[in-house]
Amino acid sequence: MAYNSLILSITTFIYGLAGVLYIFAWIFEKPTAGRLATRVTVLAVVANTFGILLRWYESHQLHTGYGYAPLSNLYESLVFFGWTIGVIYLWVEYRYRNKTIGAFAVPLAFLTMAYASLSPDKSIQPLIPALQSNWLIAHVITCFLGYAAFAVAFAVSVMYLIKAGDEKRAAANGGLRMPSALVLDDITHKLVMFGFLFLTVGIITGAVWAKQAWTRYWSWDPKETWSLITWFIYAALLHFRLMRGWRGKRIAVLSIIGFAAVLFTYFGVNFLLSGLHSYA
Amino acid sequence: MQENKEQPSGPGPSERLAEYIDLWWRFLASVKLSVVLLLCLAALSIIGTVVPQNLAGQEYARIYGPFWATLVLVLDLDGMYQSWWFRALLLLLVINIVICSVDRLQSTWKTIFVRHPKFDLNGFRNRRQRHEMDLKVGPAALQAPFERAVGKSFRYRKVVPTENGYAITAEKGRWTRLGVYAVHLSVVVMLLGGLIGSRFGFEGFVAVPEGESADTIQLHGSGQRMRLPFTIRCDAFTVEFYEGTRRPKVYRSRLTIIEGGQEVVQREIEVNQPLYHQRIGIFQSSYGRADGRAPAAAAPREAPDEVTVTLRSAASGMVYTRTVAMGQAIEIPENLGWLVLERFEADADFQGMDLGPAFIGTLTTAEGTSRTVTLPLDYPRFDAMRRGDVVIGVVDGAAGDAAPAERYYTGLQITYDPGVPVVYTGFTLMIIGCWVAFFMSHQRLVVEVTARGDGSRVMVAGTANKNKTGMQVVVERMTEKLTALAEDRQGRS
Ligand code: HEM
């Protein structure tokens, strides 16, 4: 039983290894390590996929009627978050032919999975009636695609701020030098657009599900509200770019603030605000 | 956003007014204002997630003390998302969006709805990222195959003669410039839908015991009773649990809708599968045992002064009844320990399940170990889940022994929201608009062919309003394709 958790723990280490390889390849400019890092990341994503599918399978084996797509509690969502970060990062690497981003983005996948591993309850719990909805599955998948795009955009924005002073080393060297600030800015914008679209679809599918299960499409509960706050911040970022002279550094800062809001929506609301709400 | 600054002209009064209006117009159409508004909305929305919403006034005094509680109430922070100032902010956003859109739509409209768009040929000729090649075939022979090739990926196509040859001008995706307008319109549409819902809709609750009917619901918020235009009868209620647990797997009610004495609809509903009749939604939301007392709807939202507690010993099967006040410790017979009711929650939550009103208490065994127990009013046997030595149930009022009845009642949320179709239209518009705005662009291409000796010189250049690197790839591909075509033609002749 629970082979899925085992596979997913192993996945954590593979992401960790990939992250170390990327950092090594970047600092010492070693193309071999870079190529290896990409392969290890692919392996991690495959293992991650397998772990999720296995958990799905095992949930069906447990008891009749238990089976569900493993996207319904904190542990499962973290595991899926790790997967989406891995996939989106690989896409960015393929698209922009640059491996330095891996040194910043892949550790995020590792941290996510490591945090999932610390989760006290990894057991498969069957779904209460309200959670049995295809809208919920669509909701979780789209939200996390959005969050992962924002996570990688965060990594790229951090690179931008490091890079901003240091424009001279722009020449590419086997994809092991940081892309130019201009390219980093472009990647951030692309990822934020992608993330914004998916967050939008995520909030909307969540609203449609809420209408079905809880009778209202919007009730201003803290989680909902924080997802809207995140959405406002990224909408502001998209409009910031339209103003002359506001590209670059300020966009990078806003993208970092936006990701902080993502994290708060995801974790903070559960740990801090629910505490405030169970007052007395 | 282009901000064309005009020089202030003469100081005539009407001109001054025009200038004044223009200033306001430019302010209300500016992206700067929208960024400020979006960030303000983000920052202010935080308040309502920190300050608990919609509690009774004295609750705030208890949490924050009298001074801060007054401030909370004066600033409407207890229901901030419905407050006048939050609504004013949203209204300003709507005005900003509308004026900005009107301002820009005029020029966008002209770009989109022209029969023959203007191509600034010199602009294309001077583009840095253009492609040029010399071919050994004359311009005339190239025209037809080139036109066909360009036409395959560009819908609009027109050949214009130049001094020494011709230029094929082509474009597509003009309409994609409307994408952002759809996004902005969708924001207005969604807010409008929300407004319609809050003006004309209602939400309420009714509990119907099996075999009985109800036609009156209790409205949320005001607590008033409202008559429905039909009667709901609950024919049966069933609940299934997951194997080996008390975790509900599915609960469903078989309902009959009766209108003017006629049975018009008969259907089963369950969580996530509501029934709509006359656009009024009937949602399965909770259930409980119908034990003679009025169930959840009438349950007190305020903590009652005294409650009746039933204590069922697992060992002997005996049921003891006690009346207790909040905070008072009572001894459980058979040496099973002590119980203190700590607090009352109007809307308790247990592992994501909405329990409705409940007492939270502490149970201390004779050995001295303590644990928290949750005692929902609507589910007198909820505590059985704990599998302890004693099962504790609470009954409000002095209803006496709550021996489990065989009958269930079904808890139904009844809602009517005429804004939903409007809001969902907004959702669709928003998603389509974002897709178009982000991933589609208005692309223009010019292929200029000029006679040069026996052969011709070909220039390919393109522009796009977005995703310029993507357009670069389109131009490269087109160049390769046209070169191949020309070589093919050359081979044949
Ligand atoms: C919740 C409110 C809003 C949302 C969700 C929203 C969304 C968007 C999106 C997704 C884009 C496309 C950005 C891109 O292509 O990078 C956009 C562009 C734009 N928005 Fe907004 N917007 C909002 C409010 C406003 C307001 C109040 C204004 C008023 C000035 C405004 C003005 C613009 C302008 C001028 C553009 C650029 C259009 C273009 O590229 O031709 N937006 N908006």
pLDDT digits (tens, 9 = 90+) for A2-48: 788 888 999 999 999 999 999 999 988 888 999 999 999 999 999 99
**CA B430/CA B436 separation, integer angstroms:** 10
Mean of the per-residue pLDDT values of chain A: 87
For residues B266 and B380, is the Cβ–Cβ distance under 8 A?
A: no
Same domain flag for A101 and A153: no
> Is pLDDT of A247 > 90?
no
Which of B49, B286, B414 to substitute to test the interface with A, most A CBs within 10 Å?
B49
Q: What is the pLDDT of residue B245?
A: 67
CB contact under 8 A, B39 and A277: no
Same domain flag for A144 and A191: yes
**CA A81/CA B419 separation, integer angstroms:** 34
Same domain flag for A154 and A33: no
CA-nearest residue to A199 within chain B is B431
Which of residues A79, A99, A127 is at a domain's end? A127
For residues B405 and B290, is the Cβ–Cβ distance under 8 A?
A: yes
Pairing mode of beta strands B262-270, B248-259: antiparallel
| Atom of ligand 1 minimally distant from the CA of A200 | 5
CB contact under 8 A, A229 and B46: yes
Q: How many CB atoms lie within 10 A of CB B150?
A: 21
Q: How many CB atoms lie within 10 A of CB B306?
A: 13
Give chain A positions within 8 Å (CB) of B39: 232-233, 236
**CA A98/CA A107 separation, integer angstroms:** 16
Give chain B positions within 8 Å (CB) of A276: 50, 52
* Alpha helix segments (H runs only) across A119-221: 134-163, 181-214
CB contact under 8 A, A232 and B343: no
Same domain flag for A82 and A210: no
CB contact under 8 A, A240 and B39: no
Closest by CA position to A211, among listed B435, A203, B428:
A203
**CA A199/CA A149 separation, integer angstroms:** 10
Q: What is the pLDDT of residue B244?
A: 65
CB contact under 8 A, A200 and B1: no
For residues A195 and A147, is the Cβ–Cβ distance under 8 A?
A: yes
**CA A208/CA B205 separation, integer angstroms:** 21
Residue with tokens 């194997």: B243
For B163-316, list the strands marked E by DSSP.
165-172, 202-209, 213-219, 225-241, 248-259, 262-270, 275-277, 280-289, 306-313
Whole-model pTM: value is 0.81
**CA B243/CA B249 separation, integer angstroms:** 9
For residues B131 and B483, is the Cβ–Cβ distance under 8 A?
A: no
Write down the domain spans for chain B: 13-102, 114-173+441-492, 202-291+410-416, 300-397
CB contacts < 8 A (A, B): 124
Same domain flag for A275 and A141: yes
Same domain flag for A13 and A55: yes
- pLDDT tens across A109-160, in order? 999 999 988 877 777 777 877 788 889 899 999 999 999 999 999 999 999 9
Q: pLDDT tier at A175 (50, 70, 90 boundaries)?
A: low
Q: Which of A58-62, A133-137, A211-215 has the lowest mean pLDDT?
A: A58-62
Q: What share of chain A is helix, strand, coil (3-state, %, to 5)?
A: 80, 0, 20
Count of positions (residues) in chain A: 280
**B287 in reach of chain A (CB within 8 A):** no
Task: Give the one of A130, A242, A278 whose C-beta lies nearest to B1's C-beta.
Answer: A242
**CA B83/CA A35 separation, integer angstroms:** 57
Q: pLDDT tier at A1 (50, 70, 90 boundaries)?
A: very low
| Atom of ligand 1 minimally distant from the CA of B34 | 27
- Beta carbons within 8 Å of A90's beta carbon, 6+ residues apart: A38, A41, A42, A45
Crossing angle of helices B420-439 and B179-200, rounded to 10°: 160
B187 lines ligand 1 (CB under 6 A): yes
User: What is the enclosing helix (H) or strand (E) of A4?
Assistant: helix A3-28
For residues B56 and B301, is the Cβ–Cβ distance under 8 A?
A: no
Proportion of chain A above pLDDT 70, given as a percent: 90
**B346 in reach of chain A (CB within 8 A):** no
Distance in Å, CA A207 to ligand 1 centroid = 22
Number of domains observed in the structure of chain A = 2
Please identify every stretch of chain B with a pLDDT value under 70, giving residue numbers as ranges.
1-11, 244-246, 290-305, 351-354, 395-406, 493
**CA A214/CA B271 separation, integer angstroms:** 8
For B242-274, list the strands marked E by DSSP.
248-259, 262-270
Q: Per DSSP, what are the bridge partners of residue B171?
A: B156, B444
B93 lines ligand 1 (CB under 6 A): yes
Q: Which CATH class is domain B114-173+441-492?
A: alpha beta
- B363 in helix, strand or coil? strand
- Sequential DSSP letters for A11-50: HHHHHHHHHHHHHHHHHHT-HHHHHHHHHHHHHHHHHHHH
Same domain flag for A26 and A144: no
Q: C-alpha angle A274/A275/A276, rounded to 5°?
A: 90
CB contact under 8 A, A207 and B49: no
Residue with tokens 């965060």: A154
**CA A146/CA A205 separation, integer angstroms:** 13
**CA B87/CA B59 separation, integer angstroms:** 25
Q: Which of B184, B192, B439 to mutate to test the pocket of ligand 1 (most atoms within 8 A of CB)?
A: B184
- pLDDT tens across A75-102, in order? 899 999 999 999 999 999 999 888 999 9
Closest by CA position to A109, among listed A23, A247, A13, A29:
A13
**Taking the CA of residue B191 as centre, how many other CA atoms within 13 Å lie in the half-sphere pointing to its CB?**
18
Distance in Å, CA A88 to ligand 1 centroid = 25
For B136-224, list the strands marked E by DSSP.
156-162, 165-172, 202-209, 213-219
Range of A45's domain?
A: 1-127
- Beta carbons within 8 Å of B49's beta carbon, 6+ residues apart: A222, A225, A226, A269, A273
Q: Model ipTM? A: 0.90
List b or e across A44-58, with b for residues whose CB sees 16 or more CB atoms inside 10 angstroms. bbebbebbbebbbeb
For residues B379 and B251, is the Cβ–Cβ distance under 8 A?
A: no
Residue with tokens 């209300």: B28
Q: Which of A58-67, A210-219, B179-188 has the lowest mean pLDDT?
A: A58-67
Distance in Å, CA B84 to ligand 1 centroid = 25
Which of residues A127, A160, A187 is at a domain's end? A127
Distance in Å, CA B185 to ligand 1 centroid = 10
Same domain flag for A152 and A102: no
Residue with tokens 């009667």: B231
Two tokens at A69? 């797509």
Two tokens at B371? 């644990």
- pLDDT tens across B322-334, in order? 778 777 778 887 7
Question: Chain centroid to CA A26: how far?
Answer: 22
Q: pLDDT tier at A276 (50, 70, 90 boundaries)?
A: very low
**CA B22/CA B33 separation, integer angstroms:** 15
**CA B342/CA B353 separation, integer angstroms:** 21
B96 lines ligand 1 (CB under 6 A): yes
Which of residues A127, A158, A173 is at a domain's end? A127
Give chain B positions within 8 Å (CB) of A73: none
